[in-house]
Amino acid sequence: MAILSDLDLLNYIRSGRLLIEPFEESTVRENGVDLRIGGAVARMKNIGRPLDTRSDDVEEFYTIEQSSSFIINPKEHVLLHTKEYIRLPVDLMGFVNLRSSYARVGLSIPPTIIDANFEGQLTIELVGGDFPVKLYENDRFIHVVFAKLTSPVERPYRGKYQGQRGIRLPSFK
């Protein structure tokens, strides 16, 4: 596995092997691409009973808001999505990281991987820190490091989140 440099990333994007739409060349960094916050947030809510992953409809456990800015409250777990729609080829995967400026104010995301052949906007879980933080649509908030696999995957990603747009709530079926 090899991490792609800015030159490699631009070659993948310009050749159409890696799709990022909309694309701005300024988001390509030394060893990855920054992606921006989309226009919605899904807030997790406690409805007074456990979520049953085998039978419940998860929608009742979330409130989805459309806005150009969001306040993330202390220790709150939310789902955000990227503005960009991406499509990876069968020989690339991505490691998703929160940009360090956001981590430095206490925000965090769990380890997140983009599988080879994934296509769609990314849904990212974000966890609040010790004080409220206001975020804005279109701000660069995650950094994706792309790695070239030693060979194309034999079973490319074709899962339930393929082609997603906006926030995609979890699905256990």
Active site residues: 125
Q: Residue 103 corresponds to which tokens in the numbers above?
A: 């981590």
Residue spans of alpha helices (H) in the chain: 6-14, 100-103
d(CA 31, CA 35): 13
User: CA torsion 95→97→76→160, rounded to 10°?
Assistant: -20
d(CA 30, CA 96): 15
